[in-house]
Amino acid sequence: MTRQFLRITAVLFVLSYFFFPAVSYAQTAPFPDMSVQGTVNLPTPPPPPVIPFIDLTVRNPQGGQEVAFSLQILLLLTVLSLAPSIIILMTSFLRISIVLDFIKRALSLQQVPPNQVILGISLFLTVLIMWPTFNTIYTNSIRPLAAGELSVENAYREAETPLKIFMFSQMRYSESGRKNIELFMAMRDLGRPNNLNDIPTYVLIPAFILNELTVAFKIGIYLFIPFIVIDMVVASALMSMGMIMLPPVMISMPFKLILFILVDGWGLLTGQLIRSFNM
C-alpha cells in the first residue's frame, strides 16, 4: 500500500509540474505589443420572404355590365372544368383509345403497355389529327378574345364551329352517323336537317359519341380475327397432344407478338387509325 501511494503521488507531482504552469502562463501571458485592433463585418441576413396578399371580395354589382362580366367569368370557368370531357368526347381521342385497348386485349397482354402509355399515345395522336381544328380555334377565337376584339359569347361561337365541322365530317359518309343524328333530332321533336346549321350542338355531340363507339368496335373486331385464329390453332394443337391442363394463352401469346412485330403492327395500326378520320 505504501509503495502504491508513493507511485500515485509521484505521477500527480509530475503532471502538476508540466500542466499547471502552462495553464497559468496561458491565462497570465500579456497580449503581443504589435497587435492591431479591428472589426469584423458580419454578412447581412437575407430579408424575410414576402408573401403576397390575396383578397377575394364579394359585393353587389353596381351595374348590368358587372353582372354580365361575372356571368362571362362563370361560363369560362365552366368550360375549363369541362375541358377534359371535351377533349375525350368531342375529338378523335375516343376512337383511338378504344382501338388501342382492343389491340392490347387481342394480344392477351395484361400490363404491357400500361394504361398511362396507351392514354399518352392516344393524346398525342389526337393532337396530330386535331391540329388543324385547334389551330382554327386559336386563330378565330382564343387570340381575338385575348386581344379584346371578341366578347366571350362570340369567342365561344367561333370555337364551337370548327369542332362541329369536325364531328359532322366523321358522320357525313357513315350510315350509322346519319341515323344517330336523325334519332336524336326526332327525340327533340326537330325536323330533318338539311345542313350542319340545322343540327344543334347538343344533338351533334351524342350522335358523334355513338358513331365513334360504333367505328371503334368495328375496328376492334377486325383486329381480333387473326389473333383468334392463332388461339384456335394453338388450342387444337394442345388438345391433340393431350396437354389439356396447359393454358393455351401462354403458348399463343408469343406467336401473336411475333406476328404483330413481323407485319409492323404499330405502324399499320397507327396509319390506318389516322386514315380512318375524314379530314
Q: What is the pLDDT of residues 196-250, one digit of tens each?
A: 777 888 888 888 888 889 889 988 888 888 888 888 888 888 777 777 777 777 7
Task: State residue 250 phi and psi, 5-degree precision.
Answer: -65, -30
User: Of 2-11, 111-120, 150-159, which has the strongest mean pLDDT?
Assistant: 111-120
So what's the pLDDT on residue 34? 56
pLDDT band of 22, cuts 50, 70, 90? very low
Longest CA–CA span in the chain (Å) reads 128
Cα-based torsion angle of the residue sequence 212, 102, 129, 261 in order, rounded to the nearest 10 degrees: -150
* pLDDT above 60 (res 21): no
In sequence order, the 6+-apart residues with CB closer than 8 A to the CB of 195 are none
Q: What are the start-end ranges of the H helices in the chain?
A: 2-28, 64-81, 83-89, 93-106, 115-137, 143-146, 152-171, 175-187, 201-240, 248-262, 265-275
Q: What is the pLDDT of residues 134-147, one digit of tens each?
A: 888 888 888 887 77
Q: What is the pTM of this model?
A: 0.67
So what's the pLDDT on residue 32? 55
Distance between CA atoms of residues 209 and 180, nearest Å: 10
**Exposed (0-12), middle (13-18) or buried (19+): which is 148, by Cβ within 10 Å?**
exposed
Nearest to 152 by CA among 64, 76, 77: 76
Here the cell at position 131 is 391540329
Q: What is the pLDDT of residues 249-275, one digit of tens each?
A: 777 788 888 888 888 888 888 888 888
Instruction: Specify whether the CB–CB gap between 251 and 231 falls below 8 A.
Output: no
Distance between CA atoms of residues 103 and 224, nearest Å: 8
Boundaries of every domain in the chain: 68-78+86-170+209-275
Here the cell at position 133 is 381544328
Distance between CA atoms of residues 88 and 94, nearest Å: 6
Q: What is the pLDDT of residues 64-121, one digit of tens each?
A: 666 677 777 777 777 777 777 777 888 889 899 999 888 888 888 877 788 888 888 8
